[in-house]
Every structure is written in C-alpha cells, then in structure tokens.
Amino acid sequence: MKNSGSGESSESGPSSAMSDTECRSTRHRALLAIVGAALLFSTGGVAIKGIGIEPSGAAPLWIAAGRSLVAALVLLLLVPSARKLDTRVLRVAFSYGATLVLYVVANRMTTATNAIALQSTAPLHMLVVGPIIYGELLRRRDFVSATCVAIGTTLILFANEPVTGVASNPPLGNWLALASGFTWALTLGGLRSLALAGASPLAGTVAGNLCVVVCLAPFLPAIDVPDARAFALVGYLGAFQVALAYVFLTFGLRHLRAWTASVVLLIEPVANPVWTGLAHGEWPAPLAIAGGVVLFGGATWAVAPRGRGQGGDGGG
C-alpha cells in the first residue's frame, strides 16, 4: 500500500484497471473492514474483565494464554498466508507476545480506558526506538505529537483511580499498560519491516500468539475449573477480538490510505470504555479522560496529512 495526496488508493496493476464503480465498492468494503476491526478490538476490555477465574490473581495469565492459543489456531486454519512462518517473523514474535500479555494483565488491574490509552503511547516510544532500530527519519510534527502523548500519559498516571472489582491495582496496571505501549511500538516497527521484506504480517501475528502460549505454559498457576462462560469469552477473544480483527485490518489496509485507517481505528479507544462502563459500571476518572483526549489528539496529529503527497503514517 502506498499513500497518496488524494483518493483512498494509489495501487497500480490490476486495481488500476477497475472501473470507478468497482473501486468505490472495494473502498467501501475496505472501510467497513476497518470499522469491523476497530469494533472487535474495542471489545477486549469488557470481555477480559468479564472472565471469572479463581483464584483471580491467576486469571490474567490464563486469559492471555487461552486467547493467544485460540487466535493462533484460527489464523493457521483459515488464513494460508499466516502459515508462512520463518525466521523473519521472530523479529516481532517476542515484542507482540509481550504486548498481548501486558495488555491483558493491565486490563485486570486498571480501567479499560487507561489500559488502551497508555498502550497508545507507542508514538512516544517510537520517537526513541524508530531512528535507532529502524533507521526512520523524524519529522518536526513527530515532536509535537510526542509532547501531547507525554502530557496525556502524565495526566492518566496521576489520575486517582479507585480500586474496584474489575480494577484491582490501578497504579501498577497503569505502568504495565505504559510498558505495553513500548512493546507495541517495537511490534509496529517489526511488522513494517516484515512487510517491506515481503513476509506476511499475519504470520508475525501467529508467531506472537504462539510465543505467548509457549512462554506462559510452564508458569501457569493452578486454577479452579472455569465455567462455560469463561471458556466462551476466552474463545471469543481469540477467534474474533484478535484473529478476525486482524484479518479485517489486513484487508482494509490493502485498499485504504494509512491516514484513513488510522482515523477509523480511533473508534477502538472511544468505544472501549463505553462497553466496559455499560457492562461493569467502570468509568474513568475526569483527569484520566482529559489525559486520553490530549493523548489521542497528539496521535491524530502524528498521522494527519500535511499538503499534497504527504500521507498519514506511511511517509517515514
């Protein structure tokens, strides 16, 4: 996929021979796919918090392992390109696996809003690791965006979130969510490297999920036998919130500009706390809401196009 100054797709080859009607139809389906991915991603917090496993302290590791096992199996069975595992995907397997685990644990400890917002600090971390690890050039607006992300992060970390039945340790959960922002930045850079090298990003997704299962298996604590509801929610998280969401996302990104996809994916952090609030009565503190607004404003600024020929986040 290449960014362009106008229009949603700048693909050449077979797609350029499509009629205007066919192109519009494809773009509409791609847009719906990105919306679907964002909505599926947004259900992670409410589902993770709704899983009852005893003892509760063992729940995050079991949820992370179960979700990743289901996601890997679904992708391997249904998506041929996801089976193209080779040594190149190991570059993202560990960072993506760490992101998956940290996000689940953070969701059990802090509010869903804080978990997704602090994971979205990836642009701030990429400001540091991008030039060093991936050789990416920084733009002036990257520093403006990073400043907003840093301010928003500080507001969230200092918000006085109470301990609740679905947020057992908000301060620790916030720091774990912030750590997931760092590992997510490494994952984004690794997935981009895979794409440039001609490898399958979905194969990287499978490798990351398998990494979670293999690494957690020896350390899973003893638990009571989960009920059917817990099994159903873990199955949903793996098959739909991860696997199907990434299939939708991959399809959409083939036909839409990165800028368009980035904006549509902001549905996730907006919808995530709504589902959790309605289902579990968990609403973020006012300071955390303010921090989220500043943080996501900075993220939007980072991918906003500036004039003709400058796309969203693909300009590098």
Residue 167, beta-bridge partner list: 164
* Mean residue pLDDT across the chain: 82
What residue type is assigned to position 14 of the chain?
P
Domain span including residue 76: 20-303
Token look-up 């690791």 returns 129
Q: Is 50 exposed, middle or buried (0-12, 13-18, 19+ CB in 10 A)?
A: middle
pLDDT digits 0-9 by tens, 10-68: 444 444 445 777 788 888 898 999 999 999 999 999 999 999 888 877 889 999 999 99
Candidate ranges 122-136, 193-207, 222-236; pick with highest mean pLDDT: 222-236
Residues in Cβ contact with 310 at an 8 Å cutoff, skipping those fewer than 6 apart: 3, 5
The answer to whether residue 82 is domain-embedded is yes
d(CA 223, CA 204): 30
Q: How many CA atoms lie within 13 A of 284 on its CB side?
A: 31
The verdict on residue 13 lying in a domain is no
Q: Structural domain tally of the chain?
A: 1
Is residue 71 scored above 80 in pLDDT? yes
Q: Please report whether residue 177 resides in a domain.
A: yes
Mean pLDDT of the 303-315 span: 49
In a domain, 78, yes or no: yes
Joined together, the tokens standing for residue 42 give: 């947004």
Q: Is residue 312 part of a domain?
A: no
**Could you read off the pLDDT of 74-122 as tens digits, one per residue?**
999 999 988 888 888 887 899 999 999 999 999 999 999 889 888 878 7
Domain for residue 315, yes or no? no
pLDDT in tens, 203-242: 989 999 999 999 999 988 888 878 899 999 999 999 999 9
| Within a domain: 62 | yes
Task: Let me know if residue 5 belongs to a domain.
Answer: no
